[in-house]
Amino acid sequence: MKTVRCSILGFGAIGQGVAEVLLMKKEYLESIGLEVLVVAVVDSKGATVNPEGVDLADCLARKRTVGTVAIEKLTGVEIIRSIAHELVIETTPTNIVTGGVGLQNMFTAFETGKDVVTSNKGPLTLKYRELMEAAKAAGSNFRFEATVGGSMPVINLANEVLAGNQLKSIKGILNGTCNYILTRMLEERASYKDILTESMELGIAETDPTYDVEGIDTACKLVILANAIFGRDATYKDVEVTGITKITPEALEMAYERGHVIKLIGEVSRERIHVAPRLVPINHPLAVRGILNVASIDTELAGEITVTGKGAGPIETASAVLSDLVAIYGNR
């Protein structure tokens, strides 16, 4: 049995989802020869640490009752430097201005020879090239399937499953919150404000939900795809961005009467990266509903390949984190 010691940095919707999935998948992981030991869990107030493995069920219970896992006043960087482990699971908030605490966590992880699996888009949007170089110099694994499309496979699908097949563009819906809002505004005439509040309660919206509705989150994901799949050196400023804040119920209804839905569509190719609301025919493969995401990959050899799946949510996103963990340490 191989033991993988890991830290979970950020214990909000996704960090907790990861903890739940690690508990749920303990037997499966053991069946493929992996014992995953979480040695530290960190939120904004501090950490629970145990080099022999923390009690994840207890961390989840304390987070839900007391509001924090903090027992010791330690930060992510301090934990990365002082506690022996192999893998940092980074799930702190996305910040595209500074990279947030996640950027420092990732650089420190590579500096100390650790692998990183993350759902955090900020560092990758701001400093993709530098992070890849740091990971390479350290000989570390760096995987981030959860950053784009949540559970929906897209990065690993394009780079691994479609390896060798030159890709021309990727186009689709990459924000679950916006799709949920647009769907419910049209189908139930629910109010924009109420659905946004509900999205925050469901753990699908960003820590700062303006990132969702202003198209910033989709833009981040397009930057990650541009860099990870199209070999570009893009940052946020390379994206043309329009969000959904100006879409009215009347506009949605008028479009529907004419056989269309309005969707927030992102598109990335070697030439252009842009996101804006667009009209999509009702029966088109991109016209998915609710929190679903969808991506149509235009390939050189295989034509168009379209995938869809839940783009947000704690357990769904943790599914992508789990698959990255297994890709690094499993005997596949």
Ligand X SMILES: NC(=O)C1=CN([C@@H]2O[C@H](COP(=O)(O)OP(=O)(O)OC[C@H]3O[C@@H](n4cnc5c(N)ncnc54)[C@H](OP(=O)(O)O)[C@@H]3O)[C@@H](O)[C@H]2O)C=CC1
Query: Which residue positions form the known binding site for NADP(+)?
Result: 10-15
Contact 263, 286 (CB under 8 A): yes
- Summarize the annotated binding site for NADPH as residue ranges: 121
Per-residue contact track with Na ion, 7 to 26, x per CB under 5 A? --------------------
Which one of the spans 32-40, 107-115, 140-148, 273-281 is the region binding Na ion (CB under 5 A)?
140-148
| DSSP code per residue over 166-188 | -EEEEEEE--HHHHHHHHHHHHS
Contact 19, 38 (CB under 8 A): yes
Give me the residue label for tokens 């839940």: 310
b (16+ CB within 10 A) / e for 247-257 = beeeebeebee
Contact 300, 89 (CB under 8 A): no
Judged by CB under 6 A, the chain residues 44 through 103 that form the site for ligand LTNE7NMQ are none
Q: Tell me how far, at minimum, the Cβ of 330 lies from ligand LTNE7NMQ, in Å.
A: 24
| CB-nearer residue toward ligand LTNE7NMQ: 176 or 277 | 176
Q: Is 118 exposed, middle or buried (0-12, 13-18, 19+ CB in 10 A)?
A: buried
Q: Tell me how far, at minimum, the Cβ of 311 lies from Na ion, in Å.
A: 8
Q: Can you tell me which of 39, 49, 261, 320 binds Na ion, judged by CB under 5 A?
A: 320
Report what 145 binds from ligand LTNE7NMQ, ligand X, Na ion, none; CB cut-off 5-8 Å by kind. Answer: Na ion
Per rule CB under 6 A, is residue 266 in the interface with ligand X? Answer: no
Per rule CB under 6 A, is residue 234 in the interface with ligand X? Answer: no
Check the CA dihedral 218-131-16-70 and report its sign.
negative
Report what 42 binds from Na ion, ligand X, ligand LTNE7NMQ, none; CB cut-off 5-8 Å by kind. Answer: ligand X
Active site residue 127: no
Report what 210 binds from ligand LTNE7NMQ, Na ion, ligand X, none; CB cut-off 5-8 Å by kind. Answer: none
Judged by CB under 6 A, the chain residues 79 through 138 that form the site for ligand X are 91-94, 101, 119-121
Q: Which residue's beta carbon is nearest to the bound Na ion?
A: 149
Q: What's the rounded Cα separation, in Å, for the pair 89 and 85?
A: 11
Per rule CB under 6 A, is residue 7 in the interface with ligand X? Answer: no
Judged by CB under 6 A, the chain residues 157 through 196 that form the site for ligand LTNE7NMQ are 175-177
Contact 152, 308 (CB under 8 A): yes
| CB-nearer residue toward ligand X: 74 or 185 | 74
Contact 8, 79 (CB under 8 A): no
Report what 266 binds from ligand X, Na ion, ligand LTNE7NMQ, none; CB cut-off 5-8 Å by kind. Answer: none
CA proximity to 137, closest of 146, 125, 147, 129: 129
| DSSP code per residue over 260-313 | EEEEEEEEEESS-EEEEEEEEETTSTT---TTEEEEEEEETTTEEEEEEEE---
Q: What's the rounded Cα separation, in Å, for the pair 17 and 319?
A: 9
Per rule CB under 6 A, is residue 14 in the interface with ligand X? Answer: yes
b (16+ CB within 10 A) / e for 132-157 = eebbeebebbbbbbbbbbbbbbbbbb
Report what 319 binds from ligand X, ligand LTNE7NMQ, Na ion, none; CB cut-off 5-8 Å by kind. Answer: none
Contact 46, 77 (CB under 8 A): no
Q: Tell me how far, at minimum, the Cβ of 14 lies from ligand LTNE7NMQ, in Å.
A: 9
Q: What's the rounded Cα separation, in Å, for the pair 292 and 309?
A: 5
Catalytic residues, by residue number, are 221
Q: By the criterion CB under 6 A, which residues form the site for ligand X? A: 9-15, 42-45, 68, 75-76, 91-94, 101, 119-121, 146, 150, 203-204, 206-207, 312-313, 317
Q: By the criterion CB under 6 A, which residues form the site for ligand LTNE7NMQ? A: 150, 175-177, 204-206, 212, 217, 311-312
Q: By the criterion CB under 5 A, which residues form the site for Na ion? A: 145, 149, 320
